[in-house]
A and B are shown apart, each in its own frame.
Chain A
Amino acid sequence: MPLNSRFWAIIFLSAAFFFSGCTKKKKSYDFDPKNTLFSRLGAEPPSLDWHKSSDTTSAEVIMNMMEGLVEYNLSDPELSLKPALAVKWRAENKAQRWIFTLREGVKWTDGKSFTAQQVVDGWERLLNPATASEYAYFLFGVKNAKAYNSGKIKDFSQVGVHVNSQGELVVDLEAPQSYFPYLLAHHSTYPIRKDVVKKFGDQWTNPRNIQTLGAYRLVKWDHDKAIVLKANKDFYGGEPPIKNVVLHIVKDAQAALNLFDTHKIDILDSLPSVELKHLRKRPEYRTVPLLGIYYFGLNVKKKPTDNVLVRKALSMAIDRKEITDMLGGGQVPMTSWVPKGMFGYMPDKGLKFNVKKARELLDKAGYKDRSRFPTLKLLFNTNEDHQRVAENIQAQLKRNLGINVELGNAEWKVYLSALKSNNTPHIFRMGWIADFPDPDNFLNLMTSYSANNHTNWSNKEFDRLILKAATVTDKKERLRLYGKAQEILVEKEVPVIPIYSYVSTQLVSKRVLGYASNAMGIKKYKEMRLQ
């Protein structure tokens, strides 16, 4: 045989040998679509450890494989609470003590029983300084919790949570908190299996190690690719109708939209804003208010925004509707503070768009000669949509008041450090998304003791109203107090200019039934069905 042919024969034979020994890789997420829901996560979950994670992506996964003492009733527009691991609860001592009766017969995925002590263990772990949990402050309302978290108290039994002789969970608070049960729908307050965490250390959230008690169990976590959940047959609420859930991790909104269009994903939210014009016409399109506000803060220690008349004039000179029309995502223009979809939403409050009045106020503030009005500096974090809003406001203020605004932008973390510095600009952009659906979560933001209040504004009466409202259980009375507080904030003092209340835009495949789009952006797969 000539050399060349012999050479190629050897190559060919060895190739054939290897081919015969190789197996073709299986497609990774090849489940029967009839009983599999495909959804999207917008990022790799940073952690599935519910005491350590602090983001919404991780929360979505955790909330489907775990249960808290209570959960949201997603079909109620005001998102009331319904029993989960606790079957009932009651307040004592003017909402300073809360007592939870726990469900019996609940099993973890390894067959072990759920106990009240596991809730206490969970809280102990959350508050333990060594855990370094970001959400530890969620329970700072509990007696001595803050002291334990800061290391001032070493003994956890001094923290206000214990199991009483009837097996009920008793929580003592530092001060009355009428909304306390809402905190227990949050994943940071879920119970934990101390033994599992101890055995596996940081690796306990690995699918092989993790123990949960929710409707789904974690079976696969391919970092940056997908998470696979399987129905938990032993779930206390019965096995959920959808057997598998594949959560593809898709960062880019456009890529996610392509996947929706090629039927690889059934549910999609945070749609790309430039595509909304077309997407709005599709039958799968849904929009629902999201508990969040988009606002501009004013530095009340800097000239000229230290003058309340100037602040009022600025707020009145901005037509919010012009901005939401430009964005076109269905955002709700807003002059009040509590977002749409939450109790306490009072669209009538706040300074309405009135150019004439705004000009008068500015004249009164001593700037009749507009050329004497200093150029305002407006800062926002770098983002296409924020840029559009900022440019619009710049144009409106020029047009309506004849004043100049200089725009500046910075990368997110640089931006945050600029807000914390002593040199906060006159106007800055901010947003707030609810941690729990209660007005306290929004109004607390602007108290003098809030670390998130970058305006330098403080008002004793406002602080008093917020503290008082937290202790009141009567809804009507709370509403009255929050109304008064909002008046101070957006009508009398105006350290902030609310622009709009967020909406969530979604595409939901027709084959998905029972998905209640809600203002907290929560997806509970156990409540969904497939057609």
Chain B
Amino acid sequence: MSQQGVPAMSKTPSIDEEVWEQDLKERLFAKIPLFIFSLLMFTVALSFMGYEIPDALLWADFLLVFGVFTVYVVSRHLTLYVFKRLGEAVLTLFIIASLTFLLLRIMPGGPFDRDKALPPEVLANIEAKYNLNAPLYVQYFDYLKGLSRGYLGESYKYIGRGVTDIIMEALPVSFQLGFYSLILAFLLGIPLGVFAASKHNSRFDYFAMFLANSGTALPSFLVGPILIIIFCFWLNWLPAAFWDGPEYYILPVLTLGLRPVAVIARLTRANVLDVIRSDYIRTARSKGLAEKVVLYKHVLKNSLIPVLTFSGPLAAAILSGSFVIELIFNIPGIGKHFVESVTNRDYPLILGVTLVFSFLLVLANLIVDLLYVYFDPRIKLS
């Protein structure tokens, strides 16, 4: 990085030039993540503003992120580690699928228990259709066979619809909602935390932490309706429900993002306070570095590890939908399937959403672990 370059000892202009050239290269190189970040933010802005996102842009985003990640993994000799972890992930998912399959069959009540009991002839036909009359191990192996081909089966409740279809229709909506909320959480939570720590024990600190504490304490089923009352009924600015454009996104994103903002702000503040008192920060300050540089470059980077740890499960949870918020704002996301598939005993759908959530969780944790190395080079993954 340019600030850490060693220019002063040069004797001839050619060395100076070399340094300058190297510096330029570094600066250009440093711009790549910024460029990608801008592109991503641009895509998010487009989608938020209700524009149709061109496939080319989505692919560009995906390839760039994937490319950077690959370069990152390879350059830090993490390739083997990644493959090892992916292997473990497959095993984890297999165990989760098997356990869920078993637990579902132990659970009392079947998918076709109705308040109006079905005649035995009718029930027999239905069980035959869904292969529920076969021995359990046959059903299990059939399920695994399907799973190995990426086939999750057909929903019992939504007749004739594949579980994959149901998930692929609902997940992008939850993803969108979750992604906006995550961005809100990081863009608001981290600066709030840093700022509160830098003004430690000031009025601003108290105010920020009051906000953060209330954000953690207030449940979304309270925040959502309050926002609706204020912005829909009193001010008449925003719609009360649906998911059909920017004005519809604001309230749900705020509701979902509030708690992560608060948690991240508190985590950041605590860790910044911790780091700010360490020796190397004192060194940085005594070198005469500007306070801003000390704070955002040296302190922040080292305070983000716990935030990062928290971000993995947070991302998985938030991206896989929220039952309550999707209910309050009538958003067609995947959250409801987590709850309703169980009350319906819709075995294939329960297994499907469980696997999706597990996959997201495993993936998010892997990414977080890989990022540790960037934030703290002392960490060794093997």
Which residues of A does B touch, CB under 8 Å?
3, 7, 11, 14-15, 18-19, 21-25, 27-29, 44, 46-47, 49, 52-54, 129-134, 136-137, 140, 146, 149-150, 202-203, 205, 222-225, 248-252, 254-256, 258-259, 261-262, 264, 411-418, 420, 430-432, 435, 451-452
Q: Nearest chain B CB to A28's CB is how many angstroms away?
A: 5
The 6 A-B pairs at the shortest CB distance, nearest first, are namely A413-B109, A224-B332, A451-B117, A202-B160, A47-B159, A132-B129
- Contact (Cβ within 8 A) B54 A22: yes
- Contact (Cβ within 8 A) B52 A134: no
Q: Which of A14, A131, A255 has the most CB of B within 10 A?
A: A255
Contacts A22-B46, A52-B159, A252-B327 hold; do A262 and B232 have CB atoms under 8 A apart?
yes
**List of B residues within 8 angstroms of A53 by Cβ:** 159
- Contact (Cβ within 8 A) B118 A417: no
**List of B residues within 8 angstroms of A130 by Cβ:** 125, 129
- Total count of chain B residues near the partner, CB < 8 A: 63
Number of A-B contacts (CB under 8 A): 170
B301 at the interface (CB under 8 A from A): no
In the assembly, what is the distance between CA of A63 and CA of B269, in Å? Answer: 59
Q: Nearest chain B CB to A151's CB is how many angstroms away?
A: 8
Q: Nearest chain B CB to A426's CB is how many angstroms away?
A: 20
Task: Produce 1/0 per residue, B135-170, CB < 8 A to A.
Answer: 000000000000000000000011111000010011
In the assembly, what is the distance between CA of A264 and CA of B240, in Å? Answer: 10
Q: Nearest chain B CB to A30's CB is how many angstroms away?
A: 9
Q: Nearest chain B CB to A476's CB is how many angstroms away?
A: 30
Contacts A132-B128, A223-B166, A413-B109 hold; do A431 and B115 have CB atoms under 8 A apart?
yes
9 A-B pairs besides A262-B232, A431-B115 with CB distance below 8 A are: A202-B160, A224-B169, A224-B332, A224-B336, A256-B330, A262-B239, A415-B109, A435-B116, A451-B118
**List of A residues within 8 angstroms of B34 by Cβ:** 7
B27 at the interface (CB under 8 A from A): yes
**List of A residues within 8 angstroms of B243 by Cβ:** 225
- Contact (Cβ within 8 A) A149 B125: yes
Which residues of B does A touch, CB under 8 Å?
24, 27-28, 31, 34-35, 38-39, 42, 46, 49-54, 57, 108-110, 112-119, 121-122, 124-126, 128-130, 157-161, 166, 169-170, 225, 228, 232-233, 239-245, 327-330, 332, 336, 343, 345
In the assembly, what is the distance between CA of A232 and CA of B293, in Å? Answer: 69
Contact partner, A416, options B38, B113, B242, Cβ 8 Å: B113
Q: Which of A18, A53, A261 has the most CB of B within 10 A?
A: A18
Q: Nearest chain A CB to B108's CB is how many angstroms away?
A: 5
- Contact (Cβ within 8 A) A49 B122: no
Contact partner, A452, options B46, B50, B116, B128, Cβ 8 Å: B116
Q: Nearest chain A CB to B192's CB is how many angstroms away?
A: 27
- Contact (Cβ within 8 A) B57 A18: yes
Contacts A25-B51, A224-B169 hold; do A250 and B241 have CB atoms under 8 A apart?
yes
Contact partner, A258, options B28, B241, B343, Cβ 8 Å: B241
A-B contact pairs, 8 of them (CB 8 A): A18-B57, A133-B125, A134-B112, A202-B160, A254-B328, A255-B240, A262-B240, A414-B108
In the assembly, what is the distance between CA of A252 and CA of B339, in Å? Answer: 14
Contact partner, B160, options A52, A223, A417, Cβ 8 Å: A52
